[in-house]
């Protein structure tokens, strides 16, 4: 038999490799920003159009490239950053594989302009699908400007797979933040469709984080700091009372590289143990510096996972450091009064190697001997609140009644968050035309006028000719609202309730940017915005299905839903919006409903196009026929 193995032509190999490096516009952003940083730029500009689908441009004032290097930069495995395999173990640069530019050029139209300081003129190169289409000398400032246009123009399947602009923009902003958060000695600007999203001057770390996440961030941060032989830890954690319902602001950087680590995340959560409201997540911005020899960053194609040699010690130190800072800044109530200071956080790590703990045994200890001074929790509580012993100096203030306030506050916030009575008013009472064909006409009529009964503040029970229907009140209402909102968005037919005073809500800049990307659809649901800019959204009208007190939570949930839209769901943005609003506003389980409210839900449910399931496919009601009931007897 003849030989059948062939070497793939370069452009095919490049397209395949590109699949690994470039998943979406945000991947291009990441690679180009990293290259600019590796080129020692002090000012980097990111310019995006249409969430990167039509243009990603990065302009830097770094070293630039010679003519030959400019051409070579698009070759696969062409890199100036490592020379031999050993170099992989002491990486100081972001890039090292020499694949990014080759991959990007395989699937987009790329224009490069670059000039080195020592050169009079620069070089301009144009690439299309791995082919160089032109090379010219050009006038350009020192540094490099790369434009990547029409991403995936030659792979329509990939292009179609891209998400809505809001989602792709979110991914780009994520990458931009991850890079700009570590390089505070570089000035960064980002523009989307001509307007500035971020303008970050050179600053310290705290200021950089505040610039990125909004002016109010500063007061929420608690600094952390620890230096040992194994690791240097710096950064900030968010005060527990500002913990969010979504996992948004959680960042680990190792040697200036953003990484994801479930294990270290666990360490942070362990340090917050007992301080957080249920289902909330602390913010953190944690920077770890370790010897490059003790980590391996080559295990994951996008380099966001790394392997540490000594994960366990790292875990312990991180947890201890955060616990200490929370205590120092007086945000951690001291709950275990009977503590032994030798168990306290190991602050003297500095300069010391990690040691195996030794166990001291008190051989004279007799557990049966009555010890008059033995501290019981109650006695130590009282002695504690009056005068803290010197042993506990790591916590600056004694836990007076103050710590209880922490919880009182939380409870207060909780009840405020879901104003139960208010939810009531969201049920609309105007009678709607009942057109559903789910039950026959006589049954429909029976339903419309039939007695309803609420079971456990959760279900609405009613009868039809053939038996009994049990409706899940929250899910049913979700379906009703979903269809109503969807109809309003698509037909732009919504009615608004005017607010007496405009409602002003603050978010971070990028959350506002995200809201502004769905502004039009939101207006179709009945929202009236006076302005959506900077860190503030001003609202003067809201949909009739929403109450004023629900607006803030609704928008917060919407932002989080857009951010976390699961890639595999083929849902459009409109659908996402309707789902999010419906689930925020729908009457909750646990709410008592008046008879007419019960009937309204039942009637509008069966008037829906798809009454049987919620927008996320959970059953809204079940039926029992007389036959089924008879069988039970």
Up-side HSE of residue 586: CA atoms within 13 Å toward CB? 28
Q: Residue 85 has which token pair?
A: 């395999």
122 binds, among Mg ion, ligand ADP, none (CB under 5 to 8 A by kind): none
486 contacts 611 by C-beta, under 8 angstroms = no
| Interface with Mg ion, residue 578, by CB under 5 A | no
Spell out, one character per residue from 87 to 106, where the chain touches Mg ion: x when CB under 5 A holds, - when not.
--------x----x------
Q: Which stretch binds ligand ADP (CB under 6 A): 31-39, 123-131, 207-215, 535-543?
A: 31-39
CB closer to ligand ADP, 186 vs 539? 186
Cα torsion angle, 595, 598, 599, 600, sign? positive
Does residue number 36 form part of the binding site for ligand ADP (CB under 6 A)? yes
Count interface residues toward ligand ADP (CB under 6 A). Answer: 25
CB 368 within 8 A of CB 383: no
> Strands 131-138 and 221-227: what pairing?
unpaired
Which of ligand ADP, Mg ion, none sits in contact with 97, Cβ below 5 to 8 A by type?
ligand ADP
Locate 29 and state its tokens.
Answer: 């952003």
Which residue in 14, 15, 27, 35 binds Mg ion (CB under 5 A)? 35
Selected range binding Mg ion among 30-38, 39-47, 213-221, 255-263, rule: CB under 5 A:
30-38
Q: Is 36 in the site for Mg ion (CB under 5 A)?
A: no
Residue 93-112 contact track with ligand ADP, rule CB under 6 A, x = bound: --xxxxxxxx----------
Residue 81 touching ligand ADP (CB under 6 A): yes
For ligand ADP, give the closer residue by CB, 39 or 259. Answer: 39
35 binds ligand ADP (CB under 6 A): yes
* Residue found by looking up tokens 């409201």 in the block: 277
491 half-sphere exposure, CB direction, 13 A CA radius: 9
How many CB atoms are located within 10 Å of the residue 417 CB?
A: 12
- In whole angstroms, what is the distance from residue 352 CA to residue 162 CA? 50
Q: In residues, how long is the chain?
A: 633
Q: Is 256 helix (H, G, I), strand (E, B) or coil?
A: coil
The tokens 């300069």 sit on which residue? 351
Q: Is the dihedral of CA 424, 437, 479, 518 positive or negative?
A: negative
In the stretch 113-152, what mask flags binding to ligand ADP with x, by CB under 6 A?
-------------------------------x--------
Sole window of 72-80, 280-288, 435-443, 512-520 interacting with ligand ADP (rule: CB under 6 A): 72-80
Find the shortest distance in angstroms from Cβ 72 to ligand ADP.
Answer: 7
39 binds, among Mg ion, ligand ADP, none (CB under 5 to 8 A by kind): ligand ADP
Burial of 463 (0-12, 13-18, 19+ CB in 10 A): middle
What tokens appear for 470 in the block? 């049990």
| Residue range at the interface with ligand ADP (CB under 6 A); choices 91-99, 199-207, 557-565, 582-590 | 91-99
Token digits for 196?
């500035």
Q: Which residues bind Mg ion (CB under 5 A)?
A: 35, 95, 100
Q: Which residues bind ligand ADP (CB under 6 A)?
A: 31, 35-36, 38-39, 60, 62-65, 69, 73, 78-81, 95-102, 144
């Amino acid at each position: 038999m003849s030989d059948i193995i062939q070497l793939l032509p370069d452009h095919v190999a490049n397209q395949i490799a590109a699949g690994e490096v470039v998943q979406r516009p945000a991947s291009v952003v990441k690679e180009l920003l990293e290259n600019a940083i590796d080129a020692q730029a002090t000012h980097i500009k990111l310019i995006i159009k249409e969430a990167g689908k039509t243009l990603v441009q990065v302009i830097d004032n770094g070293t630039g490239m010679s003519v030959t290097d400019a051409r070579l930069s698009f070759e696969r495995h062409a890199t100036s950053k490592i020379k031999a395999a050993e170099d992989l173990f002491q990486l100081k640069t972001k890039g090292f594989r020499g694949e990014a530019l080759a991959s990007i050029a395989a699937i987009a139209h790329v224009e490069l302009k670059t000039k080195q300081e020592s050169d009079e003129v620069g070089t301009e190169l144009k690439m299309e699908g791995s082919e160089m289409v032109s090379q010219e000398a050009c006038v350009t400032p020192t540094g490099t400007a790369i434009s990547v246009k029409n991403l995936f123009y030659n792979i329509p399947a990939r292009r179609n797979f891209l998400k809505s602009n809001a989602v792709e923009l979110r991914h780009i902003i994520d990458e931009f933040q991850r890079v700009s958060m570590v390089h505070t000695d570089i000035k960064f600007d980002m523009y989307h469709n001509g307007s500035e999203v971020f303008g970050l001057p050179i600053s310290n770390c705290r200021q950089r984080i505040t610039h990125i996440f909004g002016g109010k961030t500063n007061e929420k941060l608690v600094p952390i700091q620890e230096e040992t032989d194994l690791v240097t830890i710096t950064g900030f954690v968010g005060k527990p009372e500002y913990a969010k319902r979504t996992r948004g602001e959680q960042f680990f950087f190792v040697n200036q590289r953003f990484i994801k680590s479930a294990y270290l995340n666990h360490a942070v959560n362990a340090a917050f143990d007992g301080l957080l409201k249920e289902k909330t997540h602390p913010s953190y911005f944690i920077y770890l510096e370790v010897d490059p020899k003790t980590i391996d960053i080559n295990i994951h194609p996008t380099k966001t996972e790394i392997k540490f040699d000594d994960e366990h010690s790292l875990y312990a130190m991180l947890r201890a450091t955060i616990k200490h800072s929370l205590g120092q800044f007086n945000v951690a109530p001291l709950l275990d009064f009977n503590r032994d200071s030798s168990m306290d956080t190991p602050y003297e790590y500095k300069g010391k190697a990690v040691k195996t703990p030794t166990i001291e045994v008190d051989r004279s200890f007799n557990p049966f001997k009555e010890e008059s001074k033995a501290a019981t929790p109650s006695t130590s509580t009282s002695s504690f609140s009056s005068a803290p012993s010197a042993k506990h100096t790591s916590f600056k203030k004694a836990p007076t009644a103050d710590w209880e306030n922490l919880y009182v506050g939380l409870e207060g916030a909780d009840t405020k968050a879901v104003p139960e009575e208010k939810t009531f008013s969201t049920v609309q009472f105007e009678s709607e035309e009942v057109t559903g064909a789910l039950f026959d006409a006589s049954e429909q009529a029976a339903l419309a006028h039939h007695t309803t009964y609420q079971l456990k503040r959760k279900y609405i029970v009613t009868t039809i000719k053939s038996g009994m229907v049990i409706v899940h009140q929250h899910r049913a209402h979700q379906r009703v609202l979903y269809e109503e909102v969807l109809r309003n968005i698509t037909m732009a037919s919504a009615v608004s309730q005017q607010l007496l005073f405009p409602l002003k809500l603050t978010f971070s800049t990028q959350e506002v940017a995200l809201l502004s990307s769905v502004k039009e659809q939101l207006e179709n649901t009945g929202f009236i915005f006076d302005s959506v800019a900077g860190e503030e959204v001003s609202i003067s009208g809201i949909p009739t299905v929403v109450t004023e007190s629900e607006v803030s939570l609704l928008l917060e949930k919407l932002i989080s839903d857009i951010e976390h839209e699961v890639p595999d769901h083929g849902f459009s943005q409109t659908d996402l919006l309707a789902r999010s609003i419906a689930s925020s506003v729908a009457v909750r389980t646990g709410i008592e409903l008046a008879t007419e409210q019960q009937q309204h839900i039942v009637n509008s449910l069966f008037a829906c196009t798809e009454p049987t399931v919620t927008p996320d496919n959970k059953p809204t009601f079940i039926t029992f026929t007389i036959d089924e009931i008879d069988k039970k007897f």
